[in-house]
Amino acid sequence: MAQYEVVIGLEIHAELLTKTKIFCACTTAFGGHANSHCCPVCLGLPGALPVLNEKAVEYGIKAGLALDCRIPERCKFDRKNYFYPDLPKAYQISQYDEPLCLGGSVTCETETGLQTIGVTRVHLEEEAGKSVHSGDNILGSEYSSMDYNRAGIPLIEIVTEPDLRSPQDAKAFLEHLKRVLQYIEVSDCKMEEGSLRCDANVSLRPLGVQELGTKVEIKNLNSFRSVERALQHEVTRQSQLYEAKQQVEQETRAWDEARGVTVSMRSKEESHDYRYFPEPDIPPVHINSLWVEDLRSGLPELPLSRKERLQRQYGLTTYEAEFLVSQRSWSDFFEAVVQEFDQEKMVVNWLMGDVSRVLNAREETLPQSQLDVSGLVELLRLIDTGTISGSQAKAVLEAVCATGQPPADVVQTLGMQQISDEDQLAAMVDAVIAQYPGEAQRCREGDAKLIGFFVGQIMKGSQGKANPKMVNELLRKKLKL
């Protein structure tokens, strides 16, 4: 392999989080009875006219800006013609020569360090329907049914330059891209529900050669792991062909997850095979530059710069900052909590430790959970002031997440407050000394080990609520140690 360079480019499709479809008012909700989210427009009935959803354009522009693209003043829609049953009109409304966004780049962390990957374009298009086969797959099925609920959901297609140099980098890039799209809240990027999908172009060339080798497109990559595995398999396959002095065919191959191989689907189609032509029912779209600037200024801080800032501003380790930026909700939560409770290390430790553990056990995300910023602040203050112990706090956290009660109420209900009242503790100490006069005498005569015995009795008697540090001090005073 040493004498070949791997060249990878990705095409990523992400469903946009609009409430309605791109050219009609049908809902984009996932699931539902087959063909219940449809109308004449998304079913492609004759005479039905598409109307562009402004929100889809807005989300597309936001994605383009987050990927550092230029937003031309004008874009237009084209028809991409191909015949397949999941496409009710037998063409897909997409963008061809005048896309929404052009020429960006993304810097991301990979195993080999920071890398900048060029973004050729980002364009808008409509989603196709879904074939439901009677068997496991199309081959060997007796029949297939069509569900058009998905048809017409807005998509962005992000096309990268062939700048990636290894399957590991491709996976790292894709994970970073997913995070960016989630940060700017334009897509939920759920690969398991198909709202983020990826095709990869891969070729090899001898080291030092500029010209690109014959490329193969791989489809059907529906997890980050399969992206890496499929590319690895394809790199090996192509290098073996070159070693054996055989041709690599330009073709489209499908990843077979179960067998761990790519299989030939068809020879690669060229864009002219699709007979693109301008969509006559949607006029060209003029993008107001003031709108673009408005969207740009509304973009949140993106994950990579946020990670660097969190480390710098709060003295966090790389590992801690990486944890917090892995989801925007975690870093937002962290920064809101430290506004009110300024012990950053304690906050991040609780988030990475017990809060994560409790949420995982409940199968909830942070936004879904009943723990809010003021709840965690209150809990941390209760620990910090010695009102409850660390181990009691874990039980309080579980109760807060289960019931949504404020921590102080939980402490009250469970009768957990530590007893730190000096008079009350002194009475306990007197009582236990009176109960064990022999031990008290030996203690006074210098057997300091017996202090532990007395502390234990008091903790037991108070069901663990007595403040152990204060009990210790009181005992020493009364037994003159």
Residues in contact with Zn ion by the rule CB under 5 A: 24, 26, 39, 41-42
Indicate the helix (H) or strand (E) that contains 8.
strand 4-15
Shortest spacing between CB 39 and Zn ion, in angstroms? 3
Residue 258: φ, ψ to 5°: -65, -45
Nearer Cβ to Zn ion (22/377): 22
Shortest spacing between CB 19 and Zn ion, in angstroms? 13
Shortest spacing between CB 276 and Zn ion, in angstroms? 23
CA-closest candidate to residue 56, choices 24, 88, 80, 97 = 24
Nearer Cβ to Zn ion (104/154): 154
Shortest spacing between CB 20 and Zn ion, in angstroms? 8
Shortest spacing between CB 152 and Zn ion, in angstroms? 5
Torsion of CA 240, 243, 245, 248, to 10 degrees: 40
Alpha carbon of 195 to those of 9, 82, 145, 178: distances in Å?
Answer: 20, 22, 21, 11
Shortest spacing between CB 31 and Zn ion, in angstroms? 16
Shortest spacing between CB 129 and Zn ion, in angstroms? 11
Nearer Cβ to Zn ion (19/225): 19
In the numeric block, which tokens belong to residue 408? 């102080």
Quick check: 77 and 94 in contact, CB under 8 A? yes
Nearer Cβ to Zn ion (155/200): 155
Nearer Cβ to Zn ion (35/131): 35
CA-closest candidate to residue 151, choices 38, 264, 57, 238 = 38
Torsion of CA 184, 185, 186, 192, to 10 degrees: 120
Shortest spacing between CB 37 and Zn ion, in angstroms? 7
Nearer Cβ to Zn ion (49/361): 49
Torsion of CA 174, 82, 61, 186, to 10 degrees: -50
In the numeric block, which tokens belong to residue 67? 């990927």
Nearer Cβ to Zn ion (282/419): 282
Nearer Cβ to Zn ion (45/209): 45
**DSSP alpha helices (H): ranges in 414-479?**
422-435, 437-444, 450-461, 468-478
Shortest spacing between CB 251 and Zn ion, in angstroms? 35
**How far is it, in rounded angstroms, from Cα 273 to Cα 214?**
19
Nearer Cβ to Zn ion (42/57): 42
Indicate the helix (H) or strand (E) that contains 330.
helix 328-340
Which residues are within 8 A (CB) of 366 and not within 5 positions of it... i.e. 6 or more apart?
A: 327, 329, 330, 333, 355, 359
Which residues are within 8 A (CB) of 112 and not within 5 positions of it... i.e. 6 or more apart?
A: 166, 169
